[in-house]
Every structure is written in C-alpha cells, then in structure tokens.
Amino acid sequence: MHLTPVGLEHYLIVSAALFCLGVLGVIMRRNLIVMYMSLELMLNAANLALVAFSRFNNNLNGQVMVFFIITVAAAEVAVGLALIVALFRKRQTAHVEDLTSMKL
C-alpha cells in the first residue's frame, strides 16, 4: 500500500475489505451465531462507507442514515437471536447443516 495522505478512497477500501470478510464468514462458517456476527460486520462496513462519504462531501445525511442503520441493526439482532433461541429449543442445534427440513 502506498502511503499517500488518507482520503476517501482509503476509507472505502477498508470498508470493502470489511464487507468481504463478512461475506466470507457467511459463506465459510456453519454456525448460525457466527454467521450472524459476520452479518453485523457487513452492516458495519456499510456504516463506515456512509460516514466516509458524509465526511468528504460535507453532507450530514449520511450520518443520519448510519444512525438509523444502527437502530435497525439493534432491532434485527434482537429478533434474529430470539429466532435462533426458538430454533435451538425445537431442534437442539445451531448449525445450518442440521437444518435441512426445507431441502427438496
């Protein structure tokens, strides 16, 4: 990496790398909870990109959007984890490989 003064591109590359790590986690891991954490990483990557755009375009709307994303992510985590707990209570597993009852 060339060490130029840090600009918008640097933040966007970090955001893209973070998003790709999240995708990798969802593809690679088979544990529902770790897959959920990878989803959080992807949401955070989007947040970082939005804040960077907001900063470098002198426009605060991006930060408001991030505020809403954080709120919605909190609600989403609560509902998703409740679903995982309900699923575990019924099937005694948190692995996607064991949850194949909807497979054709």
Instruction: Point out which residues bind another protein (CB under 8 A).
Output: 3, 5-14, 16-25, 27-31, 33-34, 36-38, 40-41, 44, 47-48, 51-52, 54-58, 60-61, 63-64, 66-68, 70-79, 81-86, 88, 93-95
- CA 17 vs CA 23, 57, 74, 76, 79: distances in Å: 10, 22, 23, 23, 27
Cα–Cα distance measured from residue 9 to residue 21, given in angstroms and rounded to the nearest whole number: 18
The residues pairing with 31 across neighbouring beta strands, listed in sequence order, are: 95
Residue 30 host element (H or E): none
> Which one, 21 or 100, has the nearer CB to another protein?
21
Closest CA to 96 of 21, 43, 44, 38: 38
